Amino acid sequence: MTTDIDNATLARMVNRQQIWDCMLRYIRGADRMDQDLIRSAFWPDAHNTHGGVSGSVEDFIAGWHPAQATRDISFHMVSNQSVEFEGDTLAHVETYFMAAIHIKDDTQIEMVGGRYADLFEKRGGEWRVKTRLVMLDWQGMADASQMKERLATRHQGSRDRNDPSYERPIRPRPALAVGGWVSAGDNKSKEKADG
């Protein structure tokens, strides 16, 4: 079966992928505290309304970065995305996200879900955010009292450029988990049996 794709459809597909790639740069930048990656997702004259900040990307970074000192985990995921193009250089984009944030030594982890409502603009062949509004749709707390102990037997990343994801190429590492795979349920079953 042969499928013909016209140039306009192909251009829309490429543009959508470039917008998605821009979102992923932003998410990675936030989780790795990589300010350059965050900046690369916004035009210098962009406006970002996010929590207590309503201003430029530099205003956002100035407000956001100091708060990261208390967080040992920031884990964002993006999923559903709708893109509505307006001509060849503007796109109205809504992207759903979920995030987990953990404060050092806390026994709970905060989970939030929301949406990025963005106006993307294409300049010089590149798509970036021109205007952003971050909306939270839900929030909750989850038990993290055993997290430090459980993660101690696994490879862990870091919230900076020392994270293994920046290695080129990624290098092999030895296994850390002793005794194979253990789930939280297995530990509870063992505790009941031992008790």
- Does 124 lie in the same domain as 184? no
Residue 153 in any domain: the answer is yes
- Does 106 lie in the same domain as 180? no
Model pLDDT, residue 31: 98
* Residue in 121, 125, 119, 41 with CA at minimum distance from that of residue 76: 41
Model pLDDT, residue 195: 47
Residue 34 in any domain: the answer is yes
Residue 105 in any domain: the answer is yes
Helix or strand (DSSP H, E) at 179: none
- Does 23 lie in the same domain as 73? yes
- Does 69 lie in the same domain as 37? yes
Residue 30 in any domain: the answer is yes
Number of structural domains (the chain) is: 2
pLDDT, tens digit (0-9, with 9 covering 90-100), for 9-47: 999 999 999 999 999 999 999 999 999 999 999 999 999
- Does 191 lie in the same domain as 120? no
Q: What mean pLDDT do residues 153-174 have?
A: 93
- Does 186 lie in the same domain as 93? no
- Does 102 lie in the same domain as 65? yes
- Does 127 lie in the same domain as 78? yes
Confidence of residue 152 (pLDDT cuts 50, 70, 90): confident
Q: CATH number, domain at 70?
A: 3.10.450.50
- Does 154 lie in the same domain as 138? no
- Does 162 lie in the same domain as 133? no
Domain of residue 52: give its range. 7-143
**Strands ordered across the beta sheet of 108-123:** 53-55, 42-50, 126-143, 108-123, 90-103, 71-86
Model pLDDT, residue 1: 61
Model pLDDT, residue 189: 44
Helix/strand/coil percent split, the chain, to 5: 35, 40, 30
- Does 139 lie in the same domain as 49? yes
Please say which residue of 105, 122, 143 terminates a domain. Answer: 143
Task: Give the CA distances from residue 46 to residues 129, 157, 170, in Å, rounded to whole numbers and listed in that order.
Answer: 7, 31, 34
Count of other CB atoms within 10 angstroms of residue 128: 22
